[in-house]
Amino acid sequence: MRARAVIDLAAVRANVRALRKRAPGAQLMAVVKSDAYGHGAVRCGRAAREAGAPWLGAALPEEALALRAAGDTGRLLCWLWTPGGPWGRAIEQDVDVSVSGMWALREVVAAARGVGRAARVHLKIDTGLGRNGCPPEEWTELTTAARAAEAEGVLTVAGVWSHFACADEPGHPSIAAQLAEFHRALAVAEAAGLRPEVRHLANTPALLTLPEAHFDLVRTGIGVYGVSPSPELGTPEDFGLRPAMTLEASLASVKRVPAGHGVSYGHHYTTPGETTLALVPLGYADGVPRHASGAGPVLVAGKWRTVAGRIAMDQFVVDLGGDRAEAGAPAVLFGPGDRGEPSAEDWARAAGTIGYEIVTRIGKRVPRVYVDSEVPAQAGDRSEGDTALTGGVA
Ligand SMILES: *Cc1c(COP(=O)(O)O)cnc(C)c1O
């Protein structure tokens, strides 16, 4: 196998349980948008539900509908809609839908009438993120109109919610401001006659650091996958979380080269002496960030190596110095650290980005191999695209 992203479903379940413990008064929503941050939405969604997540969260309606098509039946919220979105299909499939403005409310009402079934709606207020969400000036109009539609029986307002801008920077003044704005929005909704089942505001960093933001439901994505939302907050271990993804490859070539040999496009690395070069068959097409050229860490032959020269589309090189390895030997880019390998956060630092982007961008060309460190995987327990489970990872 050229390369694989090994996903430990036991880690996903353990993370959900650890996160639930930190928000004991709230229900947990496992956010599985963008194919569960690259980990596989169907398998991770199922694992999260097994560990006690009554809710799943998706950004796009097609993500939510794909979960339904795969047999998921629990509560499922979907929040990133554009005009003409498949509201009717979402309502038929019992997907909770987010509404951030009057245009969306009108479309939901029309779609619910069309399919003859009440929609479950979460009204979103922009408390300061400045992204999606209803501006506070229009909130009274939106909540009043939603209440009227509810009284008619065409929808139920199941949630009122918002999203933080700087929850990963504890003490940032916007946090208190957003909390206060959210309380105001809840009061306006109540005055309009709404009695939402769940009020929700917290993402992973707020779940970990801000109990007063937990309300009835916490929406946690990155924590479920065992990646830290921010190195300043702490490591996954600090929060009792375990990275679920290991990205590894088999060396495609190992060869001796003389001193002064240029390596990879642009010759940004030149061998300082006679040495051994190992070729890792993963590149930016697989989601290994080109920005980490000359910087990304890889465990090969028992030591951390640094990417030598540029990361190309399909491959990059590491300099083994005086060490030896055989073609086919493992190169581990990141994982939970059991074998001393780097973390996704290490790659984020090397590429000037965040751990979220590292795991989410691992490409389609890299097969996901599911293992379960609690229960050994069975031969028949494979999803589409899995190629091998024998051995798994220790
Ligand atoms: C992605 C997302 C989340 C999850 O954020 P994490 O930081 O990964 O926990 C929660 N809510 C919304 C609206 C999101 O888009």
At residue 247, what are phi and psi to the nearest 5 degrees? Answer: -105, 120
Active site annotation includes 265: yes
> 19-66, pLDDT tens digit by residue?
999 999 999 999 999 999 999 999 999 999 999 999 999 999 999 999
Report the candidate in 29, 9, 380 with the shortest Cα–Cα distance to residue 197: 29
Mean of the pLDDT values across residues 300-322?
Answer: 98
> 125-152, pLDDT tens digit by residue?
999 999 999 999 999 999 999 999 999 9
Residue 120 pLDDT more than 80? yes
Query: What's the pLDDT at 373?
Result: 84
The H-or-E segment that residue 266 falls in is none
Pocket-testing residue among 77, 124, 182, 219, ligand 1, by greatest number of atoms within 8 A of Cβ: 219
| CA–CA gap between residue 229 and residue 356 (Å, rounded) | 7
Distance of CA 266 to the CA centre of its chain: 34
Query: What's the pLDDT at 377?
Result: 47
Active site annotation includes 124: no
CA of 30 relative to ligand 1 center, distance in Å = 9
| CA–CA gap between residue 5 and residue 303 (Å, rounded) | 20
Residue 337 pLDDT more than 60? yes
Residue 17 pLDDT more than 60? yes
223 CA closest ligand 1 atom index: 9
Amino acid in position 136: P
> 64-80, pLDDT tens digit by residue?
999 999 999 999 999 99
CA–CA–CA angle 208, 34, 4 (5° rounding):
95
Residue 390 pLDDT more than 80? no
Mean of the pLDDT values across residues 225-251?
Answer: 97
Query: What's the pLDDT at 275?
Result: 98
Residues with CB under 6 A from ligand 1: 31, 33, 59, 79, 163, 203-204, 219-223, 229
- Quickly list DSSP for 119-186: EEEEEEB-SS--SSSB-HHHHHHHHHHHHHHHHHTSEEEEEEE---SSTTSTT-HHHHHHHHHHHHHH
59 CA closest ligand 1 atom index: 15
Confidence of residue 381 (pLDDT cuts 50, 70, 90): very low
> 344-380, pLDDT tens digit by residue?
999 999 999 999 999 999 999 999 999 998 654 454 4
Residue 137 makes CB contacts below 8 A (sequence gap 6+) with: none
| CA–CA gap between residue 350 and residue 310 (Å, rounded) | 13
CA distances from 132 to 11, 79, 161, 162 (A): 32, 9, 11, 9
Task: Give the predicted TM-score (pTM) of the model.
Answer: 0.94
> 276-302, pLDDT tens digit by residue?
999 999 999 999 999 999 999 999 999
What is the percentage of the chain residues whose pLDDT exceeds 90?
94
Buried b (16+ CB within 10 A) or exposed e, 229-238: bbeebeebee
Beta bridge partners of 331: 249, 300
Residue 332 pLDDT more than 60? yes
Confidence of residue 245 (pLDDT cuts 50, 70, 90): very high
Query: What's the pLDDT at 48?
Result: 98
| CA–CA gap between residue 290 and residue 280 (Å, rounded) | 14
Region of 234 on the Ramachandran plot (φ > 0 left; ψ -120 to 50 alpha; else beta): left
